Structure 1
Amino acid sequence: MPEPLRLSLDDADARSGPVSGPSSGRSTGALRDPGDTRDPRGRRVRLVLLALVVLAVVACAAFLLLDVQGAWSYVLGLRSRTLGALLVVALAIAVSTVVFQTVTENRILTPSIMGFDALYVLVQTVAVFTLGAVGLSGVPAPVQFGVTLVVMLGCSVALFAWIFGAARRSVHLLVLVGVVLGVLLRSLTAMLQRMIDPNEFQVLQARLFASFTGVDPALLGVSGILLVGTCWWLWRRRHELDVLALGRPNAVALGVEHRRRVMTLLVAVSLLVSVSTALVGPITFFGLLVANLAYVLTGSSKHAVTLPTAALTAVVVLVGGQAVLDHVLSMGTVLSVVIELCGGIVFIVLLVASGRRR
């Protein structure tokens, strides 16, 4: 990005202040971005990132090495596959949520508001309804993954093309349409589930909760490639994301083609969410949890800070939580259920806090 654009962004950010909203009476020096290494608060960001890296390494090592019983090669092979799935999901959901919140200018929303989870549930329900549990089990895992990924990504791209095809349509309309479509998809899903055999319905329920075990290595490799490519593309546009965070009028004034850039970013978000969901299943509130933890830990709105912080926080929470449940507490509880509970509490707290600020 050209240097004048970055200087304009820094000036605009200094006038508006950080996310926490400091009082207008503070000096300009107090409004420096926490990610700036010349600012004493930049040390806070470096310490936070260093601590998260250490915690992430410890969490991965604990998941792989704790309570190993039997042949090490066999156990480590199974756990490595599960760890890979945990890392893919953690990075995909964290990055996609931060980018989606920037595009929508709302830190309470997550990509699931566009109906991704409802679409995934509908696809699984239709598969069980038409093929049956036995027939679906005979379909190779790569085929199931590919069909789910293509359906979710294709529907999202079609929705974006329709929303942004007219001159007066915006991100806010996209969110509203996503909510309506989510309700419609859930209604269709409920109707089909009432007609499914009770025994097959039990199989369907097991597929609707995120599961990190038994992931096909080939699917893990494809998901990893898509994840790395998309995250690298988003990282190269981190400064444009900073400009978009200033709002549409400021972004347009600073030379960003808002409509085209927003649509491409949403397609990238859809790809990350589709890969994560098709690989292990839906996790609704996980992105909301780790993204807001990243904002709180760093106090920064710069994506050069928030993106890696959210990604590392997601790894610590997901891998560390799975390690604690499996090897410390020896509980059979599905981790996604615990995450949904914590994320739901965070969502309620954010709603109450935003209501009080108004």
Structure 2
Amino acid sequence: MRKTFILMSIITLFLCSVFILWGVSFHDEFIIFKRLIRLGTIALASICLAVSTVIFQTLTHNRILVPAVMGYESFYLLWQVLVLFLFGPVSITFLGLTGNFLSSILLLLIYAFILHYVLLPIFKNDTYFSLLFGFILSMVLATLAQFFQLWMSPGEFTIFQSLTNTSFNRSNLDILIYSSIILLPILILLQRCLSILDVLSLGKNQSISLGINYAKYKALFLILIAILVAISTSLVGITLFMGIFIANIAYLIIKNGKHKDILPVATMVSVMVFLIAQLVVEHFFNYRITVSILVNLVCGIYYLFFIIFARKI
């Protein structure tokens, strides 16, 4: 296990060095600084994406589900399209990247509160009905977003795509600082709850028999997932299948099922995927495609094969 961590850490550091230093000299301080900010964005988004996906799959006991099934990303899409539809491109200038980031997190938290404390209690903690409701709600929100997109001008639609597609070009130091301030206490709390997550992975009945307040911790982790998804989506946009990819690669590498091992490995896999995709987009395709297209293509193919050969993996 230790050798696995060391090897993955070396690969991750190597990719980080290549990303920062490719094609620049040490005299290009501005370029290096901008790349460091983008690297910080990748790191924070990777942490949020990996942790939220793994915890969500622990709660649902299903390795082909991601938090997006509860409609978080669809709600983010709807918010972005509504802002542009109602106020036009001037709204981006008025809010700015930081204002858009903070407003998106706030609204996603309000959405999560309504979802988990008003709507889902109707199903009396029935996981399957809750997931079905979340899936349908996600489709409704995505359809509403598509409806408003049809009424947008080409210029507004271009801005909308830049805000929702996975991209690191809008990385901002202020956003990184705010994200870190929000993320740090969440990670400290999760560090103290790793053993509880290990117990929750055994199932509801086993957790209750071992003295875990299942309803309390499930509600807590769902709220934390909402915050993490809000941060990652606001930082880099929609990631779709990537969460499934990185989580299941981590499960394949780590066999003991302990979250203290799975979460760091999933994070490093996420960083690797983002860095490789960004390097390919920059230096091989010369920005003719986006990170979003490349990541979703590769991870979507993996997702398809995972579903087909699930019993063999």
Task: Give TM-score scaled by structure 1 length.
Answer: 0.82
The answer to whether the 8 Å contact 1:86/1:315 transfers is: yes
Per the TM alignment, residue 69 of structure 1 is displaced from its structure 2 partner at its CA by 5.9
Cα deviation code 1:68-125 (max 9, x no counterpart): 1694211111111111111111111011111110001001001111111111110111
Per the TM alignment, residue 286 of structure 1 is displaced from its structure 2 partner at its CA by 1.3
* Residue aligned with 1:186, SS: helix
Per the TM alignment, residue 232 of structure 1 is displaced from its structure 2 partner at its CA by 2.2
1:55-204 paired onto structure 2 within 5 Å: 55-68=11-24, 71-163=27-119, 165=121, 168-204=124-160
Per the TM alignment, residue 321 of structure 1 is displaced from its structure 2 partner at its CA by 3.1
Partner of 1:243 in structure 2?
Answer: 199
Q: Which has the larger radius of gyration?
A: 1
Segment of structure 1 superposing worse, 155-164 or 343-352: 155-164
* Residue aligned with 1:97, SS: helix
Matched, 1:339 2:299: no
The answer to whether the 8 Å contact 2:123/2:129 transfers is: no
Per the TM alignment, residue 334 of structure 1 is displaced from its structure 2 partner at its CA by 1.6
Distance 2:181 2:252 in 1: 30
Per the TM alignment, residue 195 of structure 1 is displaced from its structure 2 partner at its CA by 1.6
Q: Structure 2: any 5+ residue segments left out of the alignment?
A: none
The counterpart of 1:282, out of the listed 232, 238, 251, is 238
Cα deviation code 1:193-236 (max 9, x no counterpart): 12222332222222220211232211111112222321221121
- Give 2:31's aligned amino acid: V
Distance 1:84 1:330 in 2: 23
* Residue aligned with 1:282, SS: coil
Partner of 1:320 in structure 2?
Answer: 276
Partner of 1:349 in structure 2?
Answer: 305
Per the TM alignment, residue 295 of structure 1 is displaced from its structure 2 partner at its CA by 0.7
Deviating 4+ runs (over 4 angstroms): none
Per the TM alignment, residue 240 of structure 1 is displaced from its structure 2 partner at its CA by 0.7
Segment of structure 1 superposing worse, 314-323 or 78-87: 314-323
Distance 1:78 1:138 in 2: 24
The answer to whether the 8 Å contact 1:210/1:282 transfers is: yes
Distance 1:186 1:324 in 2: 30
- Give 2:236's aligned amino acid: V
The answer to whether the 8 Å contact 1:240/1:256 transfers is: yes
Segment of structure 1 superposing worse, 329-338 or 119-128: 329-338
Cα deviation code 1:19-61 (max 9, x no counterpart): xxxxxxxxxxxxxxxxxxxxxxxxxx21111111111111111
Per the TM alignment, residue 142 of structure 1 is displaced from its structure 2 partner at its CA by 1.9
Distance 2:126 2:264 in 1: 28
Distance 1:257 1:353 in 2: 35
Distance 2:298 2:153 in 1: 33
The counterpart of 2:228, out of the listed 256, 259, 272, is 272
Segment of structure 1 superposing worse, 296-305 or 54-63: 296-305
Task: Give TM-score scaled by structure 2 length.
Answer: 0.94
The answer to whether the 8 Å contact 1:164/1:259 transfers is: no
Distance 2:191 2:309 in 1: 30
The answer to whether the 8 Å contact 2:56/2:225 transfers is: yes
Distance 1:242 1:95 in 2: 14
Per the TM alignment, residue 266 of structure 1 is displaced from its structure 2 partner at its CA by 0.8
The answer to whether the 8 Å contact 2:277/2:294 transfers is: no
- Give 2:183's aligned amino acid: L
Per the TM alignment, residue 338 of structure 1 is displaced from its structure 2 partner at its CA by 1.0
Per the TM alignment, residue 335 of structure 1 is displaced from its structure 2 partner at its CA by 1.6
Partner of 1:11 in structure 2?
Answer: none
State, as a whole percentage, how many aligned pairs show the same letter: 28
Q: How many residues align?
A: 311
Q: Structure 1: any 5+ residue segments left out of the alignment?
A: 1-44
The answer to whether the 8 Å contact 2:68/2:240 transfers is: yes
1:285-304 paired onto structure 2 within 5 Å: 285-304=241-260
Distance 2:123 2:235 in 1: 36
